[in-house]
Structure 1
Amino acid sequence: MSTPREQSEPRMLVPSLMFIALVVAAVASLGTPLITTVATTFHVSLNSAQWTLTIALLSGAVSTPVLGRLGAGPHRRATILATLAVVVVGSALTVLPLPFAWLLVGRAGQGIGLGLTALMMGVARDHLPKQRSAATISLISVVSIIGAGAGYPLVGLLTQVGGVRAAYGLGLFVTTIAFLAAWRFMPEAPAGRSAHVDTVGALLLAGGLFLVLYLAGERSLWSHDLSVTVVLAVVAAVLLAVWTVTGLRGKAPLIDLKALRHPAVAGANIAMFVGAIGMYLLLTLITRYAQTPHSAGYGFGLTTFVAGLVLIPFSVLGFVAGKLTPRMLKRIDAPFLLAGSAVIVGGGFVLFVTARSNLVDLLLAMSVLGFGVGSFAAAMPGVILAVTPKSETSSAMSFNYVVRSVGYSLGSAIGGLILSAGTGLGHLFPDDSAYTTAALVGIGAMAITTLTSLVLARKRSPQAEPAAAPSRSSQLTRPPDGTVAAPSGS
């Protein structure tokens, strides 16, 4: 029997969950349309300016499992509020007239908010009826991705009027509202839960991921200091290997790596990792291509504001796909839908490779990308939550979002690396062929994602179901209320 607080909560709970997921995603991705402006404002290279995006994705990748573990415990509300407070402080640092290094610190603080997406899903699963919670979780997943382009036009307009600081000021404004919404409407976690955070594991993961992304994004290091590069690569491998071993042997690891033994979880996370690389790569390529001046021999020389308008189809079509996906899941198994979504994103890459001579071509490619990303994001939770206990929703989805954030970070870094490699000596912008090369890499990534999803679909087929049943049932545990957590999703 629910308390009066629980009965009145859902009225504004769903809008609050959606708004917080949208805000943290939009603010963390503010670096995308501002890379060129940051480079000119702070007198740094485009490669250095790219880190305003990469560092936010990196901090999100590290914070997500930590917040997911805390969100599985009794202090979920306090965790959400404390995290949003950090995001607000980080947003303030991006607005203050401080050196470039402090801008990166602020962007890292904003990126920490990406870890809240999994907690929003946990709140929905705990406090909403089963059918409504499944639909809400799918929309949260979609909003967390399409939020990347939600505020770009306004950010572009503010950049033209008041510069990059004014654009980041929008982030400070909306994160403050998100904090107030969480303070007012976020419920407490159900009683009887406990959580332990593996601090050592978090440090190992942070160090390993930082070195991987640093090596992926710093092309000059490979050509000038190969010995240092090799040493850093070895250190990164050791850190991640130690993190993996401790995660498998520990009693309360940061991420339950043993869950990867389940084919659905392992396959879904592989598809998410490779797919995220491709998805963010195309988003970055189109945005930078649109802003490249005509003097480079290609591009459209769009202002930050107009370039932001190019991203509107991405958000609109992504939201439409997210609304349609729950209905499609009643007829199509989730892994098949993942495969189809990956094919659609691959089609966006093909459009970008074959036709980018006018702005309409870019708008079409961005629309295709948005629809593919929206359906992919909406289908993903159903694959994972179908084999996840209700009390472990935040923790299970947090790992998927770690994978997604790392994939995004690598997509951003790989895109910057390929374009940097295609930039001639004494030139500010890469050759047009560098964009084609990067897009071909993206097509390969989406092909791998498609094949992985199809393999996952085969493992979930009726023929394979009997073999999977024992493993699946072993994943289900009894939550504190004593009932067996029913699978949700596909």
Structure 2
Amino acid sequence: MTTALARRTDYRLTFLVLCVGVASFSLLQSMVNPVLPTIQAALHTDQATVTWVLTAYLVSASIFTPIIGRVGDKVGKERMLVVALGALAVGSLLAAVAGTIGVLIAARVIQGIGGGVLPLTFGIIRDEFPREKVASAIGMAAALLAVGGGVGLVIAGPLVDALSYHWLFWIPMVMTIVAAVAAAVWVPESPERTPGRINVGTALLMSVWLVALLVGVSQGHHWGWSSGKVIGLFVIAAVMLPVWVIAEARSKEPLIDMQMMRIPTVWTVNLVALLFGMGMYAMFAFVPQFLQTPEVAGYGFGVSVSESGLLLLPQTVATFIGGIAAGRLAARFGSKALLVVGATLTAVGTFGMAFAHGELWMVLIETSILGLAFGLAFAAMSNLVVAAVPQSQTGVASGMNTNIRTVGGAIGSAVIATVVTSSLLPTGVPTESGYTHGFLLLAITSTAAAVVSVLVPVVKAVTHVVPGPQAEAEHDDAVATTTA
């Protein structure tokens, strides 16, 4: 056994490969957002249609993130990591050469398969890293998702100005190809597997309610919240969600283990993720718009797309710092404490945006506070979930947590879009009160996330280099004790 371990790739090289994959996925999440008007003009389409470039990616990633995580738990995380990165590369290539909006939307659906990169990354870290390195590595990988989102906003405008929007896909394509090849060569195969087959039936049920919910939420602002299509989609989601839960609970081989989802640490952190996602993704979407609002509107700063991205650079740096510091802080104070601090700082930053946004320096301070909060909270949520579940369920548990955060982001962005645009100036620009009410609503959800985070119970995981039945049993005993 010792000889076999000695031949395994050094965990630091493995981590480098994983970081490239996570960075590629996170860039594709955010780089497209600021340049949708450019894509709309280049592909001769309308605003309602071009929003599907975002919606298709969101829905696809939400479906495939937990599924790919679960398949990785069963057949091997390294194999599925290569598959997920390969899908990102293929989707990026197709998007880069797309000549019509339909092809671009199809490419974004393929890219969404890459959502499995994050849960697979957490699982591989737990399998391969020394015990004392697991928390900091997971924290950095999780924070990298938020960092990549910030970097995408920063570089999108200058990149399109200097080259074209096609390079928003060429660059991630190159990164993912490198990461996929490196993963196939250097990332060790998973020593931990979950026996059994993949439950296709429950996967389809999950896909139905997720698609109905996310399409309804994402398109509600365009179609009208009271339209028959939106109401019909919400009815389908409301019916199919409990059907899916019942089917999973009764299945001998569930895709998502409902007993795992009922672990107190898991469900409370998932609730925090839902509330936290509402604030984080909506801030990513609406702070740049606020900065770009012409000063003649009585607020805003009239900056360009490129300038608004650069003004968010301090936020990105703060997120990176928070992610790096999270490991050491968690070792000293615990991941729960970091989650409470991260959610509280998010509330502070969003309250600030609601009531003190008249000067640029105010916005820079508030977005920097938000960046630090994102880095700490992302790391804490990931570590708490990974620590609370058996090693064989790391991929699917972290995948669902990521998925729930994304669903929260979709809901938050859609609701805030409705609030912000509820009152418009004669020029068609939202009134300042629209943004104030929107940011205030996000502050309320962030405060709720902070309250729930205080209630999160903590499980001390058994994390080790060589997983085995005894360690798994010890972990299950710890979870059972906490549940009781």
TM-score, normalised with respect to structure 2: 0.89
CA distance in 2: counterparts of 1:97 and 1:391, whole angstroms: 40
Q: Would you say 1:436 and 2:423 are equivalent positions?
A: no
Cα deviation code 1:213-238 (max 9, x no counterpart)? 22223235336x63443333211211
CA distance in 1: counterparts of 2:451 and 2:111, whole angstroms: 34
CA distance in 2: counterparts of 1:51 and 1:39, whole angstroms: 11
Matching residue of 1:463: none
Cα deviation code 1:376-427 (max 9, x no counterpart)? 1111133223322222221221121111121222233333333343446x85
- Aligned residue for 1:190, secondary structure, equals coil
CA distance in 2: counterparts of 1:117 and 1:398, whole angstroms: 7
Matching residue of 1:342: 343
CA distance in 2: counterparts of 1:266 and 1:4, whole angstroms: 35
Percent identity among equivalent residues? 27
CA distance in 2: counterparts of 1:32 and 1:20, whole angstroms: 20
Check conservation: 1:25, 1:114, Cα contact below 8 A: no
Matching residue of 1:201: 202
What amino acid is the match of 1:219?
H
The residue correspondences of 1:58-97 to structure 2 (distance < 5 A) are 58-97=59-98
Distance 1:299-1:93 versus aligned 2 partners, 3 A rule: farther
Deviation at 1:141, TM superposition (A): 1.2
- Aligned residue for 1:386, secondary structure, equals helix
What amino acid is the match of 1:292?
T
Check conservation: 2:192, 2:392, Cα contact below 8 A: no
Distance 1:338-1:253 versus aligned 2 partners, 3 A rule: same
CA distance in 2: counterparts of 1:259 and 1:8, whole angstroms: 31
Matching residue of 2:119: 118
CA distance in 2: counterparts of 1:356 and 1:41, whole angstroms: 34
What amino acid is the match of 1:285?
F
CA distance in 2: counterparts of 1:192 and 1:47, whole angstroms: 44
What amino acid is the match of 2:319?
G
When the two chains are superposed, the root-mean-square deviation of aligned CA atoms in Å is: 2.8
CA distance in 2: counterparts of 1:422 and 1:93, whole angstroms: 39
Deviation at 1:63, TM superposition (A): 0.7
Matching residue of 2:102: 101
Matching residue of 1:332: 333
Cα deviation code 1:36-60 (max 9, x no counterpart)? 4334444555555444334323221
CA distance in 1: counterparts of 2:396 and 2:33, whole angstroms: 28
What amino acid is the match of 2:248?
G
Deviation at 1:372, TM superposition (A): 0.5
Deviation at 1:428, TM superposition (A): 4.5
- Aligned residue for 2:67, secondary structure, equals helix
Deviation at 1:276, TM superposition (A): 0.9
Check conservation: 2:14, 2:186, Cα contact below 8 A: yes
The residue correspondences of 1:244-393 to structure 2 (distance < 5 A) are 244-294=245-295, 296-393=297-394
Matching residue of 1:445: 445
CA distance in 2: counterparts of 1:250 and 1:347, whole angstroms: 44
The residue correspondences of 1:129-148 to structure 2 (distance < 5 A) are 129-148=130-149
CA distance in 2: counterparts of 1:105 and 1:352, whole angstroms: 36
Q: Would you say 1:222 and 2:209 are equivalent positions?
A: no
Distance 1:308-1:445 versus aligned 2 partners, 3 A rule: same
Deviation at 1:193, TM superposition (A): 4.2
Check conservation: 1:204, 1:243, Cα contact below 8 A: yes
CA distance in 1: counterparts of 2:198 and 2:185, whole angstroms: 27
Check conservation: 1:28, 1:113, Cα contact below 8 A: no
Cα deviation code 1:413-463 (max 9, x no counterpart)? 333333343446x8553223221121111011111101111122xx55xxx
What amino acid is the match of 1:222?
G
Cα deviation code 1:291-315 (max 9, x no counterpart)? 3344655433333322221232222
Moved more, 17-26 or 304-313: 304-313
Moved more, 433-442 or 41-50: 41-50
CA distance in 2: counterparts of 1:227 and 1:155, whole angstroms: 36
Check conservation: 1:156, 1:167, Cα contact below 8 A: no
Cα deviation code 1:141-169 (max 9, x no counterpart)? 11122211124433322211233223333
CA distance in 2: counterparts of 1:290 and 1:31, whole angstroms: 18
CA distance in 2: counterparts of 1:42 and 1:422, whole angstroms: 30
What amino acid is the match of 2:184?
W
CA distance in 2: counterparts of 1:263 and 1:164, whole angstroms: 45
What amino acid is the match of 1:484?
A
Q: Would you say 1:213 and 2:214 are equivalent positions?
A: yes
Check conservation: 1:160, 1:304, Cα contact below 8 A: no
CA distance in 1: counterparts of 2:309 and 2:7, whole angstroms: 40
Name structure 2 gaps, 5 residues minimum: 480-484
Deviation at 1:340, TM superposition (A): 1.8
Check conservation: 1:87, 1:109, Cα contact below 8 A: yes
Deviation at 1:18, TM superposition (A): 1.6
Cα deviation code 1:14-43 (max 9, x no counterpart)? 111122112211222222322343344445
Deviation at 1:138, TM superposition (A): 1.5
What amino acid is the match of 2:418?
L
Matching residue of 1:465: none
Check conservation: 1:74, 1:191, Cα contact below 8 A: no
Matching residue of 1:466: none
Distance 1:423-1:236 versus aligned 2 partners, 3 A rule: farther
What amino acid is the match of 2:316?
S
What amino acid is the match of 1:447?
T
Q: How many residues align?
A: 472
Deviation at 1:364, TM superposition (A): 1.8
CA distance in 2: counterparts of 1:231 and 1:27, whole angstroms: 30
The residue correspondences of 1:183-202 to structure 2 (distance < 5 A) are 183-190=184-191, 193-202=194-203
Distance 1:301-1:176 versus aligned 2 partners, 3 A rule: farther
What amino acid is the match of 1:363?
L
Distance 1:15-1:364 versus aligned 2 partners, 3 A rule: same
Deviation at 1:4, TM superposition (A): 6.3
What amino acid is the match of 2:288?
T
Deviation at 1:11, TM superposition (A): 4.4
Distance 1:365-1:324 versus aligned 2 partners, 3 A rule: same
What amino acid is the match of 1:455?
L
Distance 1:364-1:348 versus aligned 2 partners, 3 A rule: same
Matching residue of 1:18: 19
Deviation at 1:181, TM superposition (A): 2.4
- Aligned residue for 1:253, secondary structure, equals coil
The residue correspondences of 1:384-423 to structure 2 (distance < 5 A) are 384-423=385-424
CA distance in 2: counterparts of 1:345 and 1:247, whole angstroms: 34
Q: Would you say 1:484 and 2:462 are equivalent positions?
A: no
Check conservation: 2:135, 2:330, Cα contact below 8 A: no
CA distance in 1: counterparts of 2:193 and 2:57, whole angstroms: 34
